[in-house]
Structure 1
């Protein structure tokens, strides 16, 4: 028996979840009940409001990360006009990430007999929780840059098969992902029968990291390369940099998911700039810090409250710092800071 769990959360996208549900139910009919599909949540059986006009769907059980089979995670449906509001897709995914979903799915990914599948923004939910670091995946085209900012490797394909992780890009890809999984697990004849029933043929080539690579291309080379781990970069005017930015700063980031307090420690030595950022119990080195025309930029790989590669751009005026931090498609977060000490104390 192939067990399929479709994982719902508040604000999930209806088509992401229900299209695969129908495919798996049809496959069960043709496969003489050798497949069982269930709607589940991290909390257990409950009514789950979707992100489409709040339409409620009843989940019948709790996500079980130890049950062999398939776990399918849909994306979110929300306000695409206001990317900073509480009804936006990033905000819905962030709230879902703070439940037990990512922890339970993380356990499932550790088990060889479980395939985790995502549809559209479902891969972003996992990536924000740090589960896709270094793994090829796809999401809705509007979220590909953001997917890369989480540390995943964005692949521009309809379906990406990375072994125990299968992802689909776009809200209608739920049909394609489910049909592909039916073919992979139960065979092409069952998948073909479902296609005939639905009068729908699966779209696109399934991308796998196998076979000959196209000449001159490498994995994920359509997207921005990852940052080097350099902690210091030469800058134009070390004297000006020391007076403008050197010191310990208390900074606040106003993000779509709430305000974050960050302690920045910046110093200079021998024409080089050094930086560290502390948020909670996590301290990270600046990546690729560069000073140009009075603006200091750097990147930071944070893991809390979600895993993201943030790009900072700040200016200093006396003991006041202002700027932005941005990750992929997310709107830029405003940064404000106050210098506490004239010395960063970093070497």
Structure 2
């Protein structure tokens, strides 16, 4: 299975690197998985939300090639939430929704929509990656999670917000805050190859997965 990790301007690098390294490490134990960085525009250098950090996409996002597409969130602040919330003082120019809206003005939403419609392809998200899907109107009625600060915003998109470290809704698998990328990567690896390879990578990383994976009823 080829796992493509979606890069877009403003992505959070840790959202991508943690699960990407899980799949790269798995190559020492199995030939059933591979991983690459990709973007909707194809091969290019993609700037992250962290100044001076960028990653190189080596291929176009392609649900016909990839069995898994992983969508990261972005690093930024959230606007005030709640019906009585009001801005306090000057607001930053680049909030999380601002960065996501710019990403959604590219070809990214069309590729993700195709991925979700392609049988056999799973779309996974880390942290605010589920907000990317929600703001694109692609996951209404689905179960998903995100960083705890973005749960209200996620629910506005018609998503069934599920407070779990990892939420498995079939061909949509989402994870919580940024450090949950490791748990997501290991869970997806286990789902694809079985527990042996996932356990080997978990031990290699000296990481113990947290929480219970929520799974949609069959």
TM-score in terms of structure 2 length: 0.92
| Residue 147 in structure 1 maps to residue 145 in structure 2 | no
Q: Is the 8 A contact 2:78 2:97 kept in 1?
A: no
Structure 1: 5+ residue stretches without partners? 212-347
Which residue number corresponds to residue 332 of structure 1?
A: none
Counterpart Cα distance in 2 of 1:96 and 1:162: 24
Counterpart Cα distance in 1 of 2:216 and 2:56: 37
Of the three residues 132, 140, 158, the one matched with 1:133 is: 140
SS in 2 for 1:124: helix
| Residue 29 in structure 1 maps to residue 59 in structure 2 | no
SS in 1 for 2:45: strand
Of the three residues 173, 180, 189, the one matched with 2:180 is: 173
SS in 2 for 1:178: helix
Deviation at 1:100, TM superposition (A): 1.0
SS in 2 for 1:34: coil
Alignment deviations for residues 138-187 of structure 1 (CA, whole Å, 9 cap, x no partner): 00000001101011110000000000000001011110111000000011
Which residue number corresponds to residue 12 of structure 1?
A: 11
Deviation at 1:79, TM superposition (A): 4.1
Residue correspondence of structure 1 range 167-206 to structure 2 within 5 A: 167-206=174-213
Q: Is the 8 A contact 1:13 1:74 kept in 2?
A: yes
Which residue number corresponds to residue 294 of structure 1?
A: none
Structure 2: 5+ residue stretches without partners? 81-86
Residue correspondence of structure 1 range 251-266 to structure 2 within 5 A: none
Which residue number corresponds to residue 55 of structure 2?
A: 57
Which residue number corresponds to residue 91 of structure 1?
A: 98
Deviation at 1:66, TM superposition (A): 1.4
SS in 2 for 1:29: coil
Which residue number corresponds to residue 271 of structure 1?
A: none
Q: Which has the higher helix share?
A: 2
RMSD after superposition: 1.6
Q: How many residues align?
A: 209
Deviation at 1:74, TM superposition (A): 0.3
Deviation at 1:81, TM superposition (A): 8.1
Counterpart Cα distance in 1 of 2:32 and 2:213: 25
Which residue number corresponds to residue 157 of structure 1?
A: 164
Alignment deviations for residues 252-304 of structure 1 (CA, whole Å, 9 cap, x no partner): xxxxxxxxxxxxxxxxxxxxxxxxxxxxxxxxxxxxxxxxxxxxxxxxxxxxx
Which residue number corresponds to residue 217 of structure 2?
A: 210
Alignment deviations for residues 89-122 of structure 1 (CA, whole Å, 9 cap, x no partner): 1110111111111111111111121000000000
Alignment deviations for residues 52-84 of structure 1 (CA, whole Å, 9 cap, x no partner): 124111111110021241000000012458985
Alignment deviations for residues 302-345 of structure 1 (CA, whole Å, 9 cap, x no partner): xxxxxxxxxxxxxxxxxxxxxxxxxxxxxxxxxxxxxxxxxxxx
